[in-house]
Amino acid sequence: MRARFQRLIFLPFILAILALPCEGLRAQAPTGPLAPRPGAAVQQPPKNEIKVQVALVTTPVTVRDARGDMVHNLEARDFRVTDQGIAQKISHFDLGGDPISLVILMETSSRIEALAPEMRKTGILFTQTVMGSTGEAAVVGFNDSVDKLQDFTSSADQIENTIANLRIGTSGLKLYDAMAVGVEMLTSRPQATVEKPGRRRVMLILSEAVDDGSEKQLGEVLRQAQLANVTIYSVGLSTTRAELQAKPKPARRPNIPVGAVPPPPGVPATPTYEENYRYGGADLMAAVVWAVQHIHDQVKGNALEVAAAGTGGAHLSTFKDRSIENAIDEIGGELHSQYTLSYTPTDADVSGYHEIKVLVLRNDSKNLKIRARPGYYLAPPEVSPAADH
């Protein structure tokens, strides 16, 4: 009993003594991070890396010989591309093989009701000649309203049925609004990168070359189309049999203020700029530059011709012996026989109009006619893309 009593008395003193080294250790523990041992590697905190990806600039290039036939035997080394006079490295090169994403804009105004039966027969041309086996398409109709009739699909039956059942609407003609919708739809398709070519973004318009009632302006739409690498083709519709049978009238000059746009600096009168780019004595390239720099001013004259020239496409009028079907067939043949060149611009952060020039470096280049997009416009960072300049 006495031994048990002694153990109970001394037990608190023993526990207190055992606790003293622990308190000492806690008192000596550093309050901050441990210093590294000499020679030991110091682990750094992860960095927040911000990678800015510069989008590729893609231009379709159509090359024809003196007879007007497409030239198919060129290689990437045969081309020289400059952006603002600076030679660029071609990162992607293709001849008619990249899959197409196509938006078909069809005027459904009552003004072209007489042409509706012919237009309804064009579905198979779009699917077989333009889309091709790897393509996809969407259909948009426009009059006083803009209606998405068919979203993107690779089904030929859906595209053909949509066009075959095209309905004529009111007398309005919101061409520019419809073009804006088409550009927006195409921007959702896979964009090209250095590693992957993506899809060719093409808009094909069947319409009169006038606008009635749009909120958008042609320059605004054209600027966005250029930045999104959208190529615009158009088939001009005439509304009466008399116009179809009459001799084509000289196209009106665009309403460009005198001296507003000087001719492109250093551009010689070579086959690089086709005769397609000139009409009525006016330089279409100057019209394109002026349009994207003054996006709130209406461009008078053939708006479809200006839009096609500004994106590297072509405008085909339906008169004389060229029917709507023949025009679509011509466009499809060109799309699958043209070159696609892509590059990352070396001065992508420089605002203003970037002029693109494409040359063929061959001995017989003087006999070739080359058509490519003329350039694109980058607004200053502090200015909204929709602002006027």
pLDDT digit string (tens) for the chain, length 389 residues? 444 444 444 444 444 444 444 444 343 434 444 444 555 444 443 443 333 344 789 999 999 999 999 999 999 999 999 999 999 999 999 998 899 999 999 999 999 999 999 999 999 999 999 999 999 999 999 999 999 999 999 999 999 999 999 999 999 999 999 999 999 999 999 877 777 778 999 999 999 999 999 999 999 999 999 999 999 999 999 865 434 443 455 545 445 444 444 444 443 333 343 444 443 334 677 888 888 888 887 776 689 999 999 999 999 988 766 899 999 999 999 999 999 999 999 887 788 899 999 999 988 889 999 999 999 998 777 544 444 44
DSSP 109-138: -GGGGGGHHHHTT-HHHIIIIII-TT-EEE
Does 384 fall in a domain?
Answer: no
The helix/strand/coil state of 180 is helix
Residue 378 has a pLDDT of 86
How far apart CA 76 and CA 10 sit, in angstroms, is: 96
Percent of the chain residues past pLDDT 90, beyond the cut = 57
How far apart CA 242 and CA 305 sit, in angstroms, is: 22
Residue 42: count of CB within 10 angstroms of its CB: 5
DSSP 138-156: EEEEESSSEEEEEEEE--H
Does 5 fall in a domain?
Answer: no
From 103, 311, 315, 119, select the one nearest 209 (Cα to Cα): 315
Residue 267 has a pLDDT of 39
Does 308 fall in a domain?
Answer: yes
Does 38 fall in a domain?
Answer: no
How far apart CA 7 and CA 143 sit, in angstroms, is: 105
Residue 354 identity: H
How far apart CA 244 and CA 115 sit, in angstroms, is: 11
- What's the CATH code of the domain at 133? 3.40.50.410
Give the domain extent around 359: 57-242+253-378
How far apart CA 139 and CA 155 sit, in angstroms, is: 12
Angle of CA points 309, 261, 342, to nearest 5°: 40
Using CA atoms, how far residue 267 sits from 173, 285, 286, 311, 386, in Å, is 36, 11, 12, 18, 29
From 50, 49, 51, 52, select the one nearest 348 (Cα to Cα): 52
Residue 58 has a pLDDT of 93
Check: CB of residue 356 under 8 Å from CB of residue 82: yes
pTM: 0.76
How far apart CA 357 and CA 87 sit, in angstroms, is: 9
From 175, 183, 157, select the one nearest 101 (Cα to Cα): 183
Does 3 fall in a domain?
Answer: no
Structure tokens at 173: 């003609």
Q: How many separate domains does the chain show? A: 1
Residue 382 has a pLDDT of 56
From 255, 234, 256, select the one nearest 317 (Cα to Cα): 234
Does 268 fall in a domain?
Answer: yes
Does 176 fall in a domain?
Answer: yes
pLDDT tens, 99-148? 999 999 999 999 999 999 999 999 999 999 999 999 999 999 999 999 99
Does 30 fall in a domain?
Answer: no
Residue 234: count of CB within 10 angstroms of its CB: 27
Residue 53 has a pLDDT of 40
How far apart CA 179 and CA 173 sit, in angstroms, is: 11
Q: Where are the beta strands (DSSP E) in 154-287?
A: 200-207, 230-236, 278-279, 282-283
